[in-house]
A and B are shown apart, each in its own frame.
Chain A
């Protein structure tokens, strides 16, 4: 079984990252430490899941600024701050759909995402540094 702490200490999470696929999901926010079950049935997001599973299993879940309208419309831009997660459980169904559990790892700032979202977007992103109380923690978010 994967050591839970190791999911948070992965060296890849300590620097700027590129080519992390984004999953825009209206009305959903992924916080660090939160497990989020997802059922992936739309073609473009099945491709996203497929890609993420071959790329360190990382995925960004971004909330939309409005729950109304279509993804990609001006009013539905994603929030700049989003949750980076790792797929910790995956089940591929016979028809290509996925059941996933995405575990929140870090809050990140998306450096660019203002273009209309394509099939699924790849992001350049930066892990946010937290303002702490001067304490040293093994598990900081």
Chain B
């Protein structure tokens, strides 16, 4: 993977994403990594930990991300709704 050029960051990121391969990391592991760095409440993080189906786990994470984006756009709290 090449070094990022700040002048073409968006283009480089786009290339990186297109070149992303499931050979590098699984959906489950990717979901775990993203979840680890999101400011999730421990209850929600526990639910992601307990989900052994990687697709359902990814769906839970996507729901969390969508809710956070929605909350931030509304200028409110990005507290979780996952239950």
* Interface: A107 (CB within 8 A): yes
- Please measure, in the bound complex, the distance between the C-alpha atom of A115 and the C-alpha atom of B50, giving whole angstroms: 22
Interface majority SS (helix, strand, loop, mixed), chain B: helix
CB distance from A129 to the nearest CB of B (A): 7
Which residues of B in the span 7-27 have a Cβ within 8 Å of any Cβ on A? Answer: 22-23, 25-27
A33 adjacent to B33 (CB under 8 Å): yes
Question: Given A63-B42, A132-B54, A133-B55, do A29 and B28 touch, yes or no (CB 8 Å)?
Answer: no
Interface majority SS (helix, strand, loop, mixed), chain A: loop
Chain B residues, CB < 8 A from A30: 49
Chain A residues, CB < 8 A from B54: 130-133
* Interface: A28 (CB within 8 A): yes
CB distance from B18 to the nearest CB of A (A): 19
| Number of residues from B at the complex interface, CB < 8 A | 22
A135 adjacent to B22 (CB under 8 Å): yes
* Interface: A139 (CB within 8 A): yes
* Interface: A40 (CB within 8 A): no
- Please measure, in the bound complex, the distance between the C-alpha atom of A11 and the C-alpha atom of B55, giving whole angstroms: 26
Across chains A and B, the number of contacting residue pairs, with CB separation under 8 Å, is 73
A59-89 toward B: CB 8 Å interface, digit per residue (1/0)? 0000100010000000000010111000000
A130 adjacent to B23 (CB under 8 Å): no
Chain A residues, CB < 8 A from B36: 31, 33-34, 104
A132 adjacent to B42 (CB under 8 Å): no
CB distance from B50 to the nearest CB of A (A): 4
CB distance from B1 to the nearest CB of A (A): 15
B53 adjacent to A131 (CB under 8 Å): yes
A110-141 toward B: CB 8 Å interface, digit per residue (1/0)? 00000000000000000011111101011111
- Pick the contact of A140 from B29, B45, B49 — CB < 8 Å? B29
Chain B residues, CB < 8 A from A104: 32, 36
- Pick the contact of A31 from B25, B45, B52, B53 — CB < 8 Å? B45
Binding site for A on B (CB under 8 A): 22-23, 25-29, 32-33, 35-37, 42, 45-46, 48-50, 52-55
